[in-house]
Structure 1
Amino acid sequence: MSFEVICFDCDSTLSKIEGIDELARRAGMGEEMSRLTDAAMNGLVPLEAVYEQRLALIRPDSDSIDWLAGLYIEEVVDGVKDVFTALALQNKEVHIISGGLLQAILPLAKHLGLPENHVHAVDIYFNKDGSYQNYEQSSPLSKTGGKAEICRRLIKSQGSLVMIGDGKTDMEARQAGACVIGFGGVIDRPVVRDLADFYTSGPSLVSVLAYIL
């Protein structure tokens, strides 16, 4: 199959980390956050049930977000650069759709040659001193069904958009008529194996090219 619009999750798909868990570890509360993240990504609880709770506990400041931005790039998944180069050569429209924090993901997107307006993530707000203020509570990506909503905005014709990701929230893109590829190269989730149209266990992201070009 060939798709005009190619969308990627970020955490555990383009980068080997889960950003919110790394922020939690930096704040000394890693295990608790990992349990909440796993519950949401495996579809055991709605995303909105844990999203606000996690950020309210961690309260990441601007320095933490800058640190996380660097970590996303440092821990990039094998083959990501090759995939983005191949898609650019085919003139494909590429987007990142993530429930992660926008300011932390934008440097990774720039590293991969993606324009800022092709990054869909949750904005975070700081006070003048750089301390945590709040996040974009109106963002659909902080809620269940949010990725489907973004895909509906991007989709051009039935079946022309594909979403690649590792979690239950990525599988929601099917609600928008998108094809979904589960990527298990970082985390292998049985629920994603069951729900995805196609599935690859990686570990290199290059394995998805066989399904999208």
Structure 2
Amino acid sequence: MKQVILFDCDSTLSTIEGIDVLAERAGVVDQVVPLTNAAMDGRLRLEEAYAARLDLIRPDAGTLAAIGQLYIDTRVDGASQAVAALAALGWEVHVVSGGIRQAVLAIAGFLGVPDARVHAVDLRFDEAGHYAGFDTASPLARSGGKAEIARRVGAGADRLVMVGDGITDLEAGEAGATVIGFGGVVRREIVASRAPHYIDRADLREVVKLLAAPDELARVEVLLR
């Protein structure tokens, strides 16, 4: 049986919103955070916010390495255990994020998710490491992108699940995914009201408890400690 689960990164695997941390370091947080919140709450289309935020921040390659480590340092309780347990139960684990791929790869690798199963937006840099744009063709830089990724990686799956905190994560439902809203870091009422399942506790082991049968939980009990 093919089982595929997709985790959002920001405010799901990690307690931070990477783009907002970048904005703070660039001194443009007051301009960027409202764009992030509006996009995640569904008041602004993602594509309208994406380029605007990066044009304000203009992150360099070195800064992204620091954000990648910060993702690891601020990982949500139970993230490592949940990914290990799901993998042991035969789930194919992916990370799907509208965040910056170079930074998201760091936490995904730490959690044991291979690079090929990390879906995020690549940035481009010039020879000096300065920001030179982003992959505008990435579906994750526009609304509906997570549905596209879910449809592609979930092709032929018997079970397809999306875990995330924002309205873009709900889009995966359009591809047949069962959406688990995660409010352990940030509670977004639109997600809490629309997601078929919702977790308020800031512990990703709750995802495993929701998906696994009693005998499966017994098999991975040690991994969940």
* TM-score of the two chains, using structure 1 as the length reference: 0.96
Using the alignment, how far apart are the partners of 2:123 and 2:177 within structure 1? Answer: 28
Q: Which residue of structure 2 aligns with residue 94 of structure 1?
A: 93
SS of the equivalent of 1:182 reads strand
Residue of structure 2 in register with 1:46 after alignment: 45
User: 1:137: which partner in 2?
Assistant: 136
Counterpart CA distance in 2 for 1:156 and 1:62 is 34
Partner of 2:187: 188
Letter in 1 for 2:155: K
d(CA) in 2 for partners of 1:159, 1:169? 23
**Structure 1 counterpart of 2:215:** none
Task: Give the CA deviation at 1:87.
Answer: 0.9
SS at match of 1:151: helix
Consecutive unaligned residues of structure 1, counting only runs of 5 or more, are none
Matches within 5 A, 1:24-173: 24-157=23-156, 160-173=159-172
Distance in 2 between the 1:184 and 1:3 partners? 27
Aligned partners of 1:33 and 1:140: how far apart in 2?
A: 21
C-alpha distance after superposition, 1:156-203 (max 9, x if no partner): 347610000000000000111111000000000000011101001011
Alpha-carbon distance between aligned partners in 1 of 2:68 and 2:93, rounded to the nearest angstrom: 20
Give the percent of matched residue pairs that are identical in Structure 1 and Structure 2: 49
Count the aligned residue pairs: 212
Match of 2:200 in 1: 201
Q: Which moved more, 1:68-77 or 1:2-11?
A: 2-11
- Judge conservation of contact 1:11–1:19 (CA < 8 Å) in 2: yes
**8 Å CA contact retained: 2:3, 2:158:** no
Q: Partners of 1:158 and 1:8 in 2: how far apart? A: 16
Q: Contact 1:164–1:183 (CA<8 Å) still a contact in 2?
A: yes
Question: Which amino acid letter does the alignment assign opposite residue 112 of structure 1?
Answer: L
Runs of 4+ in 1 over 6 A off after TM superposition: none
* Gapped regions of structure 2 (runs ≥ 5): 213-225
1:209 Cα deviation after fit: 1.4
Structure 1 residue 207 displacement after superposition: 1.2
SS in 2 for 1:23: helix
Q: Following the alignment from structure 2 to structure 1, what is the Cα–Cα distance between the partners of residues 2 and 208?
A: 11
Aligned to 1:16: 15
State TM-score, norm by structure 2. Answer: 0.91
Mapped to 2, the partners of 1:7 and 1:187 lie a distance apart of 18
Whether the 8 Å CA contact 1:3–1:162 is kept in 2: the answer is no
- Following superposition, the deviation at residue 3 of structure 1 comes to 7.2
The match for 2:217 is none
**Aligned-partner Cα distance in 2 for 1:85–1:93:** 11
- 2:71 is paired with a residue whose SS is helix
* One-letter amino acid of the structure 2 residue matched with residue 32 of structure 1: Q
Q: Secondary structure at the match of 1:105?
A: helix
